[in-house]
Structure 1
Amino acid sequence: MPSRSSARLAALTVAAVCGAASAVVLTSPAHADSVRVHDVQGTTRISPFAGQKVTDVPGIVTATRTYGSSKGFWLQDPDPDDDPATSEGVFVFTSSTPKVAVGDSVTVTGTVTEYVPGGASSGNQSLTEITKPAVTTVSTGNAVPAPTVIDADSVPDAYTPQGDSAAAGSVNGLTLDPSAYALDYYESLEGMNVQVADVRVVTATDPYSELWVTVKPGEHRSRRGGTVYGSYTSQNTGRLQIQSLGATADFPQVNVGDTLKGSTTGPLDFNQYGGYTLVASRLGTPADGGLERETTRRQARGELAVATYNVENLDPSDATFDRHAAAIVNHLRSPDIVSLEEIQDDNGAKDDGTVDADRTVTKLIDAIVAAGGPTYDWRSVNPVNDQDGGEPGGNIRQVFLFNPERVSFVDRAGGGPTTAVGVTKVHGKARLTASPGRIDPANAAWSNSRKPLAGEFSFRGETVFVIANHLNSKGGDQGLTSQYQPPVRSSEVQRHAQATVVNAFVKDILSVQKNADVIALGDMNDFEFSGTARILEGDGELWSAIESLPRNERYTYDYQGNQQVLDQILISPAIRRGGDFEYDSVHINSEFRDQISDHDPQVLRFRP
C-alpha cells in the first residue's frame, strides 16, 4: 500500500494539540454556518473550529483515497481568499469508500477534527479534517483547481520557527508565516492540490512505495545526487515525500539521483512516516541517473584495512548471504578486519533461548569464500538471551571477521556476556584482560542494548585494539516535522551514557600506552556533529575519520531525504597523527531501492 497508516484513534480528539502539558479534550460540537475551507483551516496549525460542527462547506473534490484506514477525499475551494496562511484544501474522512468522484462540486457538513498521525504521544503535528460527513453533490465534471507549484523559489530557506516556550515548545498555536519558514509554507498548503516538476530523487523507492525528492536541486547536494544532512540548525527544506493514489505496481522504482521528469501532482497530506507528503494522482516519468554501487581500493601490503558493516538482522533464513558476500569481496575488497553489526542467532527471531550464532556467521564466511574472498576466522561473545535489544528473539550482536593470512587475533580467555574486559600494562604496553571481551556489560547504559565488543589484533608485529559498537537507536525521537520545535531527541540520553563508557575505556588504554592504535567503530546511531560523537571523541582520545571526507561525501544512511552519518570509525591520535590513513564510506546500499541493508559499510586503511 502507498501508506503505512496506523489505526486511527477510536476517538478523534487530540491530546495536547496546542502543546499544553495536559490533554486538551475537545468539547461537544457547536454549530457554525457559512464556513469555507480556508475558515476551517485558519491561520495556525489548529483549526479555529476544532471540535465544532460546520455546515455546507463548499468545494471541488480533487482526489479520493479508497485504501487503508484513512478513506475519504480531498476538498478544495475554487474561490480562495487573499491570505497566504490559510489553506484552501482539507481532507474529508469518510471511514468507508467515498461516494464522490474527482471534479464533483459538493457541500460537506461534519465535525472539524485535529487528527494526529501516530497518536498524540508521537509529537507529530495534527491533520485538520472534517469527520462524520454528510455530503451533498451539487454538480459533476467540474475542473479541478489548478495545482499550486512547489519549487525552489516558493519554499523558504529557514525550516521552522522556534516553538512557543509557554506551550512546551509547540508551534501549533503560532500564526503561520509561509514566506519565512518551510514548515509553515507546507502547512499553508495542507490538503491542497500541489505540483512539483522535474524533481531529483533523494531517497530511493522503499518497500511501501514511497520515495523522497527535492525541489531545491542545489541544496546540500551530495556528490552522488542526494541531499546531505550536516547540521541540526540547517535543515534541507526542499525535501518532500511522494506517495501514490494509484496502484502501487506502477509506482516508480528509482534510486538516488534519478529524476521524476514532468509534473507530479496531487493533494498535500501529512502522515506519521515523514510528515508532508504529496499523494500523487499523476506521477512524473522516472529518468535513470546512472547511479552505480561504489568499490573501494584494495589495501596495500603494509596497510591494515578495517571495516564496519551493519548487515541488518542477518540470520540463516535470509536470502541475502550471497549479496553480502559479494559486497565484502567485490566492493570492500576483502578488508583484513570486518566488524559486523546485527548478526542474529542461529534461528533468527524465534524466541526459544538460542543465543549461538555459529550457523549465521559460518554461512556468511562460506559465501565469502564462494565469492572469491578469503576464509575469514571470527570472534564474538554471545549475549544473554533477550538482553541486548533489537528484534525479539534475534539476539543481535557484533562479530569480528578477520583474515588470518593477514592479521592475527590475540585470544585471551576470560571474556563472557557479563564479564567486563579491562586493561593492564605488560612490558610498558597496553593489553586487554580478555580478548574478545565486552566493555562494562553490567552498566545501566547498556540496558536493552548491545554491549561493545573489544578485541586485540596483531598486524606485522604491531598491536591494534578494535572496539565494535552498536549504540542505542534513535527510536522514540520526535520527527523533524514534529509540532515541537526543536524536536526532542530523547534517545540521546542513553547514547550519551554509552559514549561516555566507550570513551572511558579508550582512556584506560591510552593512559597505559599513549601511542596505542585504537579504533572504535560501528553503528553509532548518531551524526558526526552530534553530542554522541563529541563524547566519544572526548578530549582527543578519538576522532571520527569520516570528517576527513568532503562534506558532500559524509553519509552512510539515507532517511527521509536526508543523507546522514550513523556509522563511524573513530581513531586514536597515533593513527590520526601518522597521517597515513584513508577513510572511505562505500555507498552500496543506502541510495538504492534494492538494498540488502539500509547502511553503507565503511573502510579505514592505515599503516600501524
Structure 2
Amino acid sequence: MPSKRTARIGALTVATICSTVSAVALTSPAQADAIRIHDIQGTTRTSPLVGQKVTDVAGVVTGVRTYGSSRGFWIQDLQADGNPATSEGVFVFTSSKPTVSVGDSVTVAGTVTEFVPGGTSTGNQSVTEITKPTVTVVSSGNAVPAATVVNAKSVPGAYAPEGDTAAGGSINGLTLDPAKYALDYYESLEGMNVQVADTRVVTATDPFTELWVTVKPRENATRRGGTVYGSYTSQNTGRLQIQSLGAVADFPKANVGDVLKGTTAGPLDYNQFGGYTLVANEIGALQQGGTERETTRKQGRGELAVATYNVENLDPSDSSFADHAAAIVHNLQSPDIVALEEIQDNNGATNDGTVAADQTVKKLVEAIAAAGGPTYDWRSIDPVNLADGGEPGGNIRQVFLFNPERVSFTDRAGGDASTAVGVTKSYGKAHLTVSPGRIDPANDAWKNSRKPLAGEFVFRGKTVFVIANHFASKGGDQSLHAQFQPPARSSETQRHLQATAVNTFVKEILATQKNADVIALGDINDFEFSDTAKLLEDDGVLWSAVKSLPKSERYSYVYQGNAQVLDQILVSPSIRRSCEFTYDSVHINAEFNDQISDHDPSVLRFRP
C-alpha cells in the first residue's frame, strides 16, 4: 500500500522551507511596467524568473492559509494576458501567519522560488512562489477575481505529455498545452481562483481533512460512485483533491458516492499528497449518496470460502477488534479460511524485540466468537525481529484463521522464520514439507518484506494449498502527477522478484500434482494488469480471480480518487477450470470515511 504520511497540521501538508516573516510596508502602488504574475508563472512549469527578486507584483488576495508550516496567501492579477498557458495567480509564502485578508489589493516584493513539496527526491512538480515577501496593502474589500470553472468540458481527456528524454523524462521544460493535457490544464491554473460544482466524491474524507471529487462523473465510473483505475494509461483526468481554508470541524465527512452540491471554490494549489488541490474558501453542501457496506453471500455446504483481509497494523491496543470481528462474521459471512495481513506482535509498534503475536490473534478470535462467528483456530510463523518491514517494532505478518468445524489444517513440524517450505510427493499427491511454512525466506526478494506463509488444508477430504502474501509496498514510486512522465515505479523491482518466487513455488506443487488446488492470495500491492500479476500468473499456473468481475467492479482500495486493485486471490488451473468459483471484493472500508482498514477484503468460493 502507498506509504503513510508522517507530518500534517490541519489539512495542510507540512513543508519545510526557510523564509523571513512578511511585513506590511507603506510603499507606492505598482507601476504599469512592473512584473506581473503571468510573467512570473511563464508558459512552462517553472518560472523564467526563478531565483530573481521582483517588486510591485500586483494582485488581489483570493485565499489565506493561516495554519501549518506553509503559511501564506494567494494573489491573482486582474489584468490577464490572454495566454491560456500562463497562470494569473501565485502563492506568497510568508512562513508566519499572514496579515492580509481576502479581497485586499496588494503589491508584493520578494524572491521567485520553485518549491517541490516533499523534496526533489519525490519527483513531484514544483509550486511557483514568491518568498521572503514585503507586502503592501493598497486597498481592502475588493471583489475577488471570478473563479475559473473546472468541469468535464474544460479538462482534457489526455493526462500528461511524454517527458523530455533529454531532461530525464521531465515535463518541466515543456510549453504547457492546457487544451490537450489535464496536467497542463491544471498547471495553467496554479494559484488561481477556481471552482467546481455538483461534484461526486471519489475518495472519502480522510484523517488529514481532505477528499477527492471528480468533475467527470462518467469517467470509468463504478456503480457505487467511484472512479476505477484500470490501466497505466487511464489515470482519470477528472480527479481533483479538495482541502479547506476553513475550520477542520466544518469539513464534510463524505463517503464515495456522496456529492458536494453547489459550488466549491478557492485557489488551486499543488501538494505532495495529491498534486493539484482546490483549497476551498467555499465548500458545497454534502449530499449523501447512500453508499452502504456490502455483505457477501454465505458459502454453500459444499463450497470452500477463502478470504483475504488486510487489517492494517492490528495490535492488542487497538479499539477496532469488535468492528473487524463484525466484518468477518456478518459482511464476509464467516469464511472457512481467512488470510490476514498486517497482524502486529503483542505490543504493536513498541520496539523491544517482541515478535510473538498470539495475544493479537487471540483477541481477534475471541471477538469473532463474541460476534456470533465460529471459534477460529489459527496458524502463523513469527518473523525475525525487524526483518519483515512495516511499522518499526510492529513485526507484521500473515496469519491463517480457519474454522475447524469446516476445514482442518495439516500440521507438519519444522516451519520457522528461516526454514524454506518444500514440496514432496506421497501416493501421487503433493504435500508440503513443513506446514505452515515460509517460501524461500532467504531469497533477497523478501529483504525487509513479509515472507509468504504456505499452509496445507483439507476440506471434505480434499487438500487445498493456500499461500498468504503481503508484497512490498509502493513506497518510493513517483506519483501519477509527477514531473516525470511516465512516472517511475521503482518499488516494482522487488515485487517482481517476489512474484517470481511465489510462481516458482506454485510450479513445484503443480509439477508434483498437476491437478492440485492452489490459492495464492493477499495484499499483492499491485494491480491486476501489472507486470507483478503477470509474473504471478506466468505459464498459466495462477490466474487472478478479480478478473472474473466486470472492470467497473475491480477494486479493493481507493487512493487519490482512483479505485484500484491491490488485494488479489489467484487460483490454479484446477479451480479456474471448474467454472464453479465465485469471487467477491466486499466493499466495507475503502469507500468510507470511518473505515477500520484502508483495504476491502475479498472472498473466493469454490468446490474442491
TM-score normalized by structure 1?
A: 0.96
Q: Provide the residue aligned with 2:325 in structure 1.
A: 325
1:5 Cα deviation (Å)? 2.1
* Matching of residue 395 in structure 1 with residue 403 in structure 2: no
Q: Is the 8 A contact 1:325 1:371 kept in 2?
A: yes
Distance 2:544 2:159 in 1: 28
Contact map agreement 1:59 1:77 (CA 8 A) in 2: yes
AA at the equivalent of 2:557 = Y
Aligned length: 589
Q: Give CA-to-partner distance per residue, 1:504-563, whole Å, 9 cap, x none.
A: 000000001110000000000000000000000011000000000001100000000000
Mapped partners of 2:230, 2:15: distance in 1: 34
Contact (CA 8 Å) 1:581, 1:605: kept in 2 or not? yes
Paired residue for 1:365?
365
Which residues of 2 match residues 197-216 of structure 1 at below 5 A?
197-216=197-216
Please report how far the alpha carbon of residue 417 of structure 1 lies from its aligned counterpart in structure 2 after TM superposition: 0.3
Deviation at 1:141, TM superposition (A): 1.1
Structure 2 counterpart of 1:406, which letter? R
For residue 10 of structure 1, report the CA deviation from its aligned partner: 4.3
Please tell me the residue identity of whatever aligns with 2:237. Answer: T
Q: Is the 8 A contact 2:18 2:95 kept in 1?
A: no
Aligned to 1:78: 78
Question: Does residue 1:5 correspond to 2:13, yes or no?
Answer: yes
Asked if 1:449 corresponds to 2:449, the answer is yes
What CA distance in whole angstroms lies between the structure 2 residues aligned with 1:505 and 1:534?
15
2:142 matched residue in structure 1: 142
Residues 355 and 385, structure 1, Cα contact 8 Å, conserved in 2: yes
1:16 corresponds in structure 2 to none
* SS of 1:361 mapped into structure 2: helix
2:540 partner SS: coil
Partner of 1:23: none
| Within-5 A mapping of 1:377-392 | 377-392=377-392
Match of 1:95 in 2: 95
**Contact 1:589/1:597 (8 A) holds in 2:** yes
Alignment of 1:87-486 (within 5 A): 87-486=87-486
- 1:446 Cα offset (Å): 0.3
Per-residue CA shift, 1:189-246, capped at 9, x if unaligned? 0000000000000000000110000000100001110000000011100000000000
CA RMSD of aligned residues (A): 1.1
AA in 2 matched with 1:344: Q
Cα-to-partner distance string for 1:12-51 (whole Å, 9 max, x where unaligned): 9xxxxxxxxxxxxxxxxxxx96210000000000000000
Equivalents in 2 of 1:179, 1:231: separation in Å?
Answer: 23
Within 2, Cα distance between the matches of 1:479 and 1:190? Answer: 18
- Return 5+ residue gaps in structure 2 as ranges: 1-8, 21-31
TM score, norm. by length of structure 2: 0.96
1:11, distance to aligned residue in structure 2 (A): 8.4
The one-letter code sitting in structure 1 at the alignment partner of 2:539 is D
Asked if the contact 1:2–1:245 (Cα under 8 Å) also holds between the matched residues in 2, the reply is no
Q: Secondary structure at the match of 1:505?
A: helix
Q: Show the counterpart of 2:6.
A: none
Q: Tell me: CA distance 1:6–1:73, structure 2 relative to 1, closer, same or farther (3 Å).
A: same
For residues 335 and 234 of structure 1, the distance between their equivalents in structure 2, rounded to whole angstroms, comes to: 34
- Cα contact 1:33–1:55 (8 A) shared by 2: no
Aligned residue in 2 for 1:582: 582
Which residue number in structure 2 is paired with residue 491 of structure 1? 491
CA shift, 1:55, in A, is 1.1
Contact 1:202 1:212 in 2 (8 A): yes
Runs of 5+ consecutive residues of structure 1 not aligned to the other structure:
13-31
- Per-residue deviation, residues 561-588 of structure 1 (Å, max 9, x unmatched): 0000000000000000011000000000
What is the percent sequence identity of the aligned residues? 75
| Inter-partner Cα distance in structure 2 for 1:93 and 1:388 | 41
The alignment partner of 1:535 has SS state of helix
1:510: which partner in 2? Answer: 510
User: Which AA in structure 2 matches 1:511?
Assistant: A
- Tell me, in whole angstroms, the C-alpha distance in 2 between the residues paired with 1:3 and 1:269: 13
Match for 2:484: what amino acid?
Y
CA distance in 2, matches of 1:236, 1:43: 24
Is contact 1:85–1:177 with CA below 8 Å preserved after alignment? yes
Deviations 1:249-305, CA, capped at 9 Å, x for gaps: 000001000000000000000001100000000000000100100000000000000
